[in-house]
Amino acid sequence: MPAFSATTPLIERHMAFFIFEGVKLLDATGPLQVFSDANQVLGYEAYTTTLASYHGGPVQTDTGILLNTRRVAGVGLDENDTLIVCGGDGVHAVSRDNRLVASLLRATQKCGRIASTCTGAFLLGAAGLLDGRRAVTHWRGCERLAQSCPEAEVDPDPIYIEDDGVWTSAGVTAGIDLALAMVEADHGREVALELARNLLVYVKRPGGQSQFSEALKEQTRSASGRFDALHFWMRENLTADLRIEALAERSGMSARNFARLYIRETGHTPARAVEQFRVDAARVMLEDVKLSIKTIAAECGFGNDERMRRSFSRLMGVTPQAYRDRFATSADED
């Protein structure tokens, strides 16, 4: 059901994507697809899109594909519009181009929202648009961004951040999460969730969620990938018997040998991994205010909400309720 009625003003927003030679293709096309599909879900042209560059004309992406662009100086933006600066390997070179940065800054002066995907944050930083604001970029670039933008507060963990009208996102696919969050801000949670379903996004992630899921962290820790299949099964069966004996049997090992190999491979115990998977799943479910904490505790395999509270506080540094208060979407938007 659309998030508007016949009497609701149908606001149209222009979404301009600023790109440059070597831009990462998905940094632009991922969010671009979100806004295009949003029009289908909403039933009217809520978003028009433009690809812009400093000179205009064809711009070669990192894949070799050419994207046709307009000169950014000729793209008129107002308070209903958004300028999104995309990332890519060429961003550091163009960030040193004073004329390009000045042109970009002029283009942002009237638009209502400014954003970056991935390393596009470096261009926003070069224009001074991150000064005094929290920001994020791809995890590999966070330290460099903090050094080049000392007036910004760079947080390396979230997948996207919004601070006073300036949005930044983490690496590549996080741009899709940022675009979904913008649609939610414009048209409500129901529309954003319908979009996520249409795009086959596994889950519409809240901005405070880490750039890394626990499953990906486990795969990163493991050099051989010996336990990847087990980790996938654990994540999908959080209410099953996940004691060390059961996991060892599933892996075809004795409990003693399994525990020894698991610690050597991952750097921590199987029990710790189980706790991390359960907390990670609970964190996602907590954004849905219709689910009680007791229900979440049961569905994530904690057994009871007090056990979940202790695990969540230990790993996340906050209680489940405090996390929900910060990141859950209001039930009024459903």
Q: Considering only the top CATH level, what class is 13-198?
A: alpha beta
Distance, in Å, from the CA atom of 53 to the CA atom of 68, rounded to the nearest integer, reads 9
What is the per-residue DSSP string for 222-253?
-SS-TTHHHHHHHHH-TTS--SHHHHHHHTTS
User: Cβ–Cβ contacts within 10 Å for residue 100, how many?
Assistant: 21
**Going by C-beta distance under 8 Å and a sequence separation of 6 or more, which residues neighbour residue 42?**
2, 3, 4, 187, 191
Residue 215 confidence (pLDDT) above 80: no
Structure-block tokens of residue 276: 């991390």
The domain defined by 214-333 carries CATH number 3.40.50.720:
no
10 Å CB burial of residue 212 (0-12, 13-18, 19+) is: middle
pLDDT, tens digit, for every residue of 220-269?
Answer: 455 567 888 888 899 889 999 999 999 999 999 999 999 999 998 888 89
Nearest CA among 308, 304, 307, 299 for reference residue 237? 299
Global pTM reads 0.66
Residue 54 and residue 88 in contact, taking contact as beta carbons nearer than 8 Å: no
10 Å CB burial of residue 281 (0-12, 13-18, 19+) is: buried
Q: What share of the chain has pLDDT > 70, as a percent?
A: 87
Would 13-198 and 214-333 be classified into the same CATH topology?
no
User: Cβ–Cβ contacts within 10 Å for residue 102, how many?
Assistant: 11
Average pLDDT, the chain: 87
Residue 321 confidence (pLDDT) above 50: yes
Return contacts of 318-323, CB within 8 angstroms, 24+ apart.
320/282, 320/286, 320/293, 320/296, 321/293, 323/208, 323/283, 323/286
Q: What's the mean pLDDT in 275-299?
A: 90
Domain extents for the chain? 13-198, 214-333
Altogether, the residues listed in the chain come to a count of 334
Distance, in Å, from the CA atom of 293 to the CA atom of 278, rounded to the nearest integer, reads 13
Nearest CA among 145, 139, 87, 95 for reference residue 116? 87
Residue 250 and residue 277 in contact, taking contact as beta carbons nearer than 8 Å: no
The more confident residue out of 287 and 246 is: 246
